[in-house]
Amino acid sequence: MSSLLLKSAKILDSESPYHLKTKDIFIEHGVITKIEDKLEKADRIISFEDLHVSGGFFDSSVSFGEPGFEERETLSNGVVTARKSGFTSFLLNPNLNPITDTNSSVKFLQQQIDKQLIDIKPLGALTKGFDGKNLAELYDMQMAGAVGFYDFKTPVADANLFKIALQYVKAFDGLVFSYPQDKSIAGKAQVNEDELTTYIGLKGMPNLAEELQIARDLYILDYTGGRLHIPNVSTKASVQLIKKAKARGLKVTCSVALPHLFFTSEKLETFDSKYKIFPPLRTREDLKALKKAVRDGIIDMLTCDHEPMDEEHKALEFENASYGSIGLESAFSVVNTLFGVEKASALLSKPKTKFGLETSKIEVNQRADLSLFNPNSKYTFQKQHIFSKSKNSIFLGESLTGKVFGSIYNDSFYEN
């Protein structure tokens, strides 16, 4: 497809001179060549009711299943799911089989990705096979294209190893991810420790399990220097620890998963395994603190924490069910429902700069990297809205506002 024309699109991009203006946008060979009040001709004209457009959505934590767990999700279907959901770029977690912990495994993923259709950046494992004992091929993986190092949802218990990792990657400006959980405190608990979960008889983990690990990591970061990303923060005190670290000038960023901004542990009263996620759903006080931290910019980014799980492992009694929820398809609607369209579009499109990734403005002579949506459409999220192979969405049955029409990346348009 050589040319596309978006008709009457309200532009949401604070860095663009057309921010909050409604314009026609002409795209030729993957580049925005005209933005005017009225344009007429193109190979394909795209027109939707109440069309809004922002920079392409980005997510810092997406899991697929290929290679190794194709029954959960394949790379090709995952790309279609992301594009139809408005995402043009994301970080791909290394929790595959084999785990992405070598130069060759990063190169393999890069070879499978059609860079004309989507911008996927692999994360490499921090330790070999997530063993927490031996550092993986960090430098070699970064040279192959990995943008950070993360033992997916597996905390690094060895403080000295964590220190060495931060010191080592400084030489090539590498980024270490550290999952915030102290396993010795968390034990085998599966839910938050609070009054409700104690009442219904589920073994709970205290907030301390998260906060102790974050405090340790930040103390070590202060000693070593370097760059640290803390994914999936979920408690009020975690936010305060990170706020103080940023005030001291430490190079630390963090994310929060969307379910922790939308649900509390009160949902567990039903024992429905769709609410079994990691970290667990917290209290209303934590949720309010997390939302405030997003508005204040202490939390740098949101993640849908897309983690497909096949029905065989998810549709079980709560104690035996696997953790995880998909989230790409519902992400914009959830963020728009929570924060409104201007904030939502910024939260979903801007954070890629935190990882040093290229962004495009909605401006003439810029590469086309766009998400298309109607922020006012109301609906109930159901299985018919899911494109993933797996259907394990925590948001099934929720009333949401905002419908994604699709995305444009280079000269390809994926329509929802």
Q: What residue ranges define each of the domains in the chain, with the CATH number in brackets?
A: 56-360+388-397 (3.20.20.140)
**pLDDT tens digits for range 262-273:** 999 999 999 999
What mean pLDDT do residues 234-243 have?
98
Q: CA quadruple 373, 378, 381, 382: dihedral positive or negative?
A: negative
For residue 126, count other CB atoms closer than 10 A to its CB.
28
For residue 114, the model assigns a pLDDT of 87
What mean pLDDT do residues 215-235 have?
98
pLDDT tier at 115, thresholds 50, 70, 90: confident
pTM: 0.97
**pLDDT tens digits for range 70-108:** 999 999 999 999 999 999 999 999 999 999 999 999 999
For residue 8, the model assigns a pLDDT of 98
Whole-number average pLDDT of the chain: 97
For residue 2, the model assigns a pLDDT of 83
**Burial of 377: CB neighbours in 10 Å, binned 0-12, 13-18, 19+:** middle
**pLDDT tens digits for range 352-386:** 999 999 889 999 999 999 999 999 999 999 999 99
* Phi-psi sector, 81: left (phi>0), alpha (psi -120 to 50), beta: alpha
What single letter denotes the amino acid at residue 401? T
pLDDT tier at 180, thresholds 50, 70, 90: very high
| % of the chain exceeding 70 in pLDDT | 100
Residue 305 known to be catalytic: yes
| % of the chain exceeding 90 in pLDDT | 97
Catalytic residue (choose from 305, 310, 369, 411): 305
**Closest to 185 (Cα-Cα) out of 162, 203, 202, 210:** 210
For residue 364, the model assigns a pLDDT of 98
**Closest to 271 (Cα-Cα) out of 345, 197, 193, 168:** 197
pLDDT tier at 1, thresholds 50, 70, 90: low
